[in-house]
Amino acid sequence: DGGITQSPKYLFRKEGQNVTLSCEQNLNHDAMYWYRQDPGQGLRLIYYSQIVNDFQKGDIAEGYSVSREKKESFPLTVTSAQKNPTAFYLCASSTGLAGVNNEQFFGPGTRLTVL
């Protein structure tokens, strides 16, 4: 069953702690993305990666970090430097080739609440 998995579905952390969100895909996609969804603001791009061992900042990368050591995995770390981390985080993937018509597929999301 191909798709994107994110874990956990709900995550609670204390202020000041770093937390890592998992994203795994078995679609053999080259590109992966992390978005943050806040009410009334749509989805905003945090980081993206077009190939293993390479990634670029999106529009709101401050306070976040990522790694791409394997094609199928793209974990996101929300650091204590992120001023407003409570949000719904969505991971996506695509074939990723620039200039090629393709679409992004989304995971189920992780809702992070910082107490």
Partner 1 sequence: AQSVSQHNHHVILSEAASLELGCNYSYGGTVNLFWYVQYPGQHLQLLLKYFSGDPLVKGIKGFEAEFIKSKFSFNLRKPSVQWSDTAEYFCAVRLYNQGGKLIFGQGTELSVKP
* Residues in touch with partner 1 (CB under 8 A): 31, 33, 35, 40-45, 48, 50, 56, 58, 90, 94, 96-99, 101-109
Q: How far is the CB of 87 from partner 1 (least distance, A)?
A: 14
Peptide bond into 8 cis (omega under 30): yes
Amino acid at 87: A
Q: How far is the CB of 36 from partner 1 (least distance, A)?
A: 11
Q: How far is the CB of 43 from partner 1 (least distance, A)?
A: 4
DSSP 70: B
CA–CA distance, 66 with 55 (Å, rounded to integer): 8
